[in-house]
């Protein structure tokens, strides 16, 4: 095989992984917030909220399979969780505060100043887990489209501390403090939403391999 043919194959092989990874990123979760509400309209009454950024009444721990995804709020470390197309389930933990019948989850993507996703759920009690949730008008919704991907909250639960009796966080630290916590669980689906027919990067790279091969044959 001639030298230029080898160079062409090597170039195409190098382009393939680059092309595949270039479109794998969809967004990053850069802030999560939960707040309590006295009404089913989801109005914040100024009592309790849990935040991954400094300024919340309490710290909000974020986990995947109980593996922490962030540092403590008082350290100023913000959430930065890259996500691609697929389904993600996250657990949340918050220090107990004043009981309210409803809780709102807000998801911020790519450092947006306002939440793009926001849902409201009744508090879940022991032996009465509520999976009924609704969009919170004016604060995002169940789904959000960024022009390339659609992000959808498919489930959210906020569980009273007596449901699981787990102690994961203190008011401002990701560490047990002797008080059982609220536990939240939500699932986020991410789907590609471009409707027009566009060749996948892997397909383009393979086409490139074929084109380079034809050029190499013509130069023989």
- Segment 8-58, tens digit of pLDDT: 344 344 434 433 334 578 999 999 989 888 777 666 666 788 888 866 667
Angle, vertex CA 85, rays to CA 109 and CA 168, nearest 5: 60
Residue 112 near residue 210 (C-beta atoms within 8 A): no
Q: How far apart are CA 118 and CA 46, in angstroms?
A: 17
What is the distance, to the nearest Å, from the Cα of residue 127 to the centroid of all Cα atoms in its chain?
Answer: 28
Measure Cα distances from 183 to 22, 40, 123, 126, 164 in Å.
35, 20, 10, 12, 8
User: What are the pLDDT digits (tens) for 126-170?
Assistant: 555 445 566 665 577 889 999 999 999 988 889 989 888 999 888
**Cβ partners under 8 Å of residue 124, min gap 6:** 130, 157, 158, 159, 160, 163
pLDDT score at 25: 87
pTM for the full predicted model: 0.73
Least confident of 17-21, 70-74, 121-125, 188-192: 17-21
**What's the mean per-residue pLDDT of the chain?**
73
More confident residue, 45 or 5: 45
pLDDT score at 73: 43
């Amino acid at each position: 095989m001639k030298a230029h043919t080898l160079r062409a194959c090597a170039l195409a092989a190098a382009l393939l992984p680059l092309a595949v990874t270039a479109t794998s990123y969809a967004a990053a979760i850069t802030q999560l917030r939960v707040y309590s509400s006295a009404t089913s309209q989801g109005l914040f009454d100024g009592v309790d909220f849990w935040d991954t950024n400094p300024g919340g009444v309490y710290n909000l721990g974020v986990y995947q399979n109980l593996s922490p995804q962030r540092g403590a709020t008082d350290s100023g470390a913000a959430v930065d969780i890259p996500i691609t197309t697929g389904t993600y389930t996250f657990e949340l933990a918050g220090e107990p505060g004043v009981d309210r019948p409803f809780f709102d989850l807000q998801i911020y993507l790519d450092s947006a100043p306002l939440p793009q996703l926001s849902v409201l759920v009744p508090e879940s009690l022991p032996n009465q887990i509520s999976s009924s949730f609704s969009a919170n008008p004016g604060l995002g919704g169940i789904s959000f489209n960024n022009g390339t991907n659609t992000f959808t909250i498919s489930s959210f639960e906020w569980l009273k501390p007596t449901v699981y009796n787990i102690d994961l966080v203190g008011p401002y630290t990701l560490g047990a403090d002797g008080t059982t916590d609220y536990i939240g669980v939500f699932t986020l689906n991410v789907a590609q939403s471009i409707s027009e027919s566009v060749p996948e990067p892997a397909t383009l790279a393979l086409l490139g391999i074929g084109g380079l091969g034809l050029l190499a044959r013509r130069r023989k």
